[in-house]
Amino acid sequence: MRPLESKGLSDSVSIFGWNRVLSLSTTIIPQIQHVVTKRESDLEKLVAMSTLGAATIAALHWMPWGKLLGNELRPPKTYIVGVAVIGATFSAWAAWAQPQWGWAIGGFWIITAAIGTGDVIAYFLDRLGGDAMKGRTHGRPPTRGDARD
């Protein structure tokens, strides 16, 4: 019997140094899978928090500030409320997902864009609904000239 025929698969693998490659691949692949899975869950958390932030800014947009405070919010108070929503949403996401530095910067901009989009959509819906929309949400009774129901 020749020497190479007597060796099994593991012996021939070790001859070429593939045993090191195989052992590294069995330890590295699960780590890569963990990172990919973690990133996917971070992305899901980012989408969830961005959606929550956009819904919050829309709810605050239509909040009946006139009934609560006696007058409507005007700038710069409205800007402070918007920035507070962005900061609170980002902080909650960062505490929940615990992202790495680069992922956190991207997450901040995604959250900011989502909340800004929510505010733009709220203003667009106001324009579609006319003054009647503002009247229903801010406690003012509809007046002559408001959009018809």
Structure tokens at 53: 């932030």
Q: Output the pTM of the full model.
A: 0.62
Structure confidence by residue, pLDDT tens digits, 34-78: 555 565 688 888 999 999 999 999 999 988 888 888 888 888 999
Q: How far is CA 138 from CA 74, 83, 125, in A?
A: 14, 22, 14
Contact 127, 143 (CB under 8 A): no
- What pLDDT score does 146 carry? 47
Structure tokens at 66: 């006139």
Phi, psi of 37 (to 5 degrees): -65, -40
Q: Over 70: is that where the pLDDT of 136 sits?
A: no
For the purposes of burial, counting CB atoms within 10 Å of the CB of 16, is it exposed (0-12), middle (13-18) or buried (19 or more)?
exposed
Query: Domain limits of the chain?
Result: 38-138
- What pLDDT score does 148 carry? 45
Q: How far is CA 9 from CA 2, 15, 24, in A?
A: 15, 10, 18
